[in-house]
Amino acid sequence: MSRPYDTAIIVGSLRAASVNRLAAEALVRIAPPSLAMRFVEIGDLPLYNEDLEESGPPLPWTRFRDELARADAVLFVTPEYNRTVPGALKNAIDVGSRPYGASVWSGKPAAIMTLSPGGIGGFGANHSLRQSLVFLDMPAMQQPEAYVGGAYGLFDDDGAFRSDDTRAFFARFIDAFGNWVERTAAPAARSAS
């Protein structure tokens, strides 16, 4: 019997009440059974500095790298700050890509959903993150694209979808990601348990 793909979810916003976290939690609830989804937190990561690496990496870096190393795939759910990803997410990318030659990202299928209160739905952050994924050797799902505008009106106070159309869009996205992971994950990623 094969196991579900271990899928790390990284939320780019650090706010406890972030609409991006609500969206990620909603995706977890409707994910296909082929994806075993878990959150990997980035808020405690010290800023990347190679000097810290040389004296023994900080414990949060080690924790983060270990959690990512176990993952078969990665789902990014993030807001857009100043037409790019938030600094905490960029720092997490840097921490995971070092030390040189030991990146925990390499080869892991990825997908990106960006959310914003505005109309363009985090388009700049989505494409900025895609540039990093190319360098990190992470095959990124191309379709369906997920630039989610008007994000503050998508969920009720309990985190449930306010509209069937939104739920259907999220379901198409996460189902497509499940199929993407099936097609692109390393063959050993889903061995018998």
**CATH number for 12:** 3.40.50.360
Model confidence, pTM = 0.95
Q: How many domains are there within the chain?
A: 1
Q: Which pLDDT tens digits describe the chain residue by residue (193 residues)? A: 389 999 999 999 999 889 999 999 999 999 999 999 999 999 999 999 999 998 899 999 999 999 999 999 999 999 999 999 999 999 999 999 999 999 999 999 999 999 999 888 899 999 999 999 999 999 999 999 999 999 999 999 899 999 999 999 999 999 999 999 999 998 766 654 4
- Total residue length of the chain: 193
Q: Which residue has the tokens 């259907």?
A: 168
Residue 97 domain-assigned? yes
Q: In which domain, by residue range, is 172 found?
A: 5-186
Distance between CA 129 and CA 71 in Å, rounded?
A: 19
- Backbone dihedral region for residue 80 (phi beyond 0: left; psi -120 to 50: alpha; all else: beta): beta
Residue 192 domain-assigned (yes or no): no
In a domain, 191, yes or no: no
**What is the rounded distance in angstroms from the CA atom of residue 116 to the CA atom of residue 86?**
12
